[in-house]
Amino acid sequence: MFRRGGRVRAVRSTGYDAALALALTAPAVNALAGARLRELSRSAALSQEFSMVGEEQRPEGLLWHGVNLSPLSATPQAIAELGRQQASRSRRCSSVVGDRRAVEQLWEHLAPLWESEVREHRWSQPLLQAEEPPAGTGVGASSAAGTRTVGPGAGGARLRPALPGEEEAVFPAAVAMFREEVGVDPLAGDGGRSYRARVGELIRRRRTYVVIEHGEVLFKADVGALFGPVAQIHGVWVRPDLRGRGLGRAGMTELVRQVRRDHAPQVSLYVNDFNEPARRAYAAAGFTQVGELATLLF
């Protein structure tokens, strides 16, 4: 797969522990790719989706080259070697994503071949992490079941994990979120079968949180990646007619409390720098910037 004696090599089971340890040096930055690394720990696909630079027990950087292309904790020299290796191949990924500086360095090697295929450049995506939830954010008192009121309507609405059987209610909200955020239709291609399966999987794992009233989703967010001490939030969505009324801010504040309770102590997410309403809601919910990512969409 790689030339004999080269410094770029596939991550194999014998080097998995060292690769994981390197990725865990920056768990929030590496959350998406790191979660995939852990998922493949006992799979033959590990060596097909992950490469490393350097000695197997002392890697200098990693690269996830699956559905996404993502550098993990790589030195500038390692990124250069990974970039040259990837530039010798045809593109298979749907995006390049990771720490902004690392993506910029990697892109120097890939841009001459792939630039014409880029659909959107998102060079600045602040990486945020939640502090302790601030007081006075519009979240009501805890209920007997441990949830809080967060929303409009008489008596409020309750944020909670979505339940098996609620897939049909959650799916339209998930599709609307994907179209808005990614700019493509998840129903294209296979009619939405793979995306519906993903929605169902997150619900089964209690990683989708919703506010539902009268059978309709008002607010939704997913724990899209779990890596080490970090739960990374993806897919945040508020029903359009309710935006600007505090539901997003209150929902995010309560989401942090429940995700810490259910999954991991550190709650992070990343947001496009131009999405000012979302950035204000996250700041009000106690999120502060701890890094910067970049994403190139194909």
| Confidence at residue 43, expressed as pLDDT on a 0 to 100 scale | 95
| Confidence at residue 144, expressed as pLDDT on a 0 to 100 scale | 39
Give the model confidence (pLDDT) of 245-260 as tens digits: 999 999 999 999 999 9
pTM listed for this prediction: 0.87
Task: Give the mean model confidence (pLDDT) for residues 264-288.
Answer: 95
pLDDT > 90 fraction of the chain, expressed in percent and rounded: 87
Task: Give the mean model confidence (pLDDT) for residues 221-239.
Answer: 97
Distance CA 206, CA 279 (A): 26
| Confidence at residue 156, expressed as pLDDT on a 0 to 100 scale | 45
| Confidence at residue 153, expressed as pLDDT on a 0 to 100 scale | 45
Distance CA 92, CA 298 (A): 10
What homologous superfamily does CATH list for 127-291?
Answer: Gcn5-related N-acetyltransferase (GNAT) (3.40.630.30)
| Confidence at residue 143, expressed as pLDDT on a 0 to 100 scale | 40
pLDDT of 137 over the 50 cut? no
| Confidence at residue 190, expressed as pLDDT on a 0 to 100 scale | 92
Q: Grade residue 189 by pLDDT with cuts at 50, 70 and 90.
A: confident
| Confidence at residue 6, expressed as pLDDT on a 0 to 100 scale | 67
Task: Give the mean model confidence (pLDDT) for residues 86-90.
Answer: 92
Distance CA 112, CA 284 (A): 41
Strand-by-strand arrangement of the 159-161 sheet: 8-10, 50-55, 58-65, 68-72, 95-99, 287-297, 120-130, 266-270, 230-238, 216-227, 208-213, 159-161
Task: Give the mean model confidence (pLDDT) for residues 131-138.
Answer: 55
Provide the mean pLDDT of the chain: 91
Give the model confidence (pLDDT) of 145-176 as tens digits: 455 666 554 334 699 999 999 999 999 999 99
Distance CA 100, CA 295 (A): 8
- Distance (Å) of CA 112 to CA 69, 79, 115, 124: 16, 16, 6, 21
* H-run or E-run covering 224: strand 216-227
pLDDT of 298 over the 50 cut? yes
Residue entry with tokens 């790719």: 33
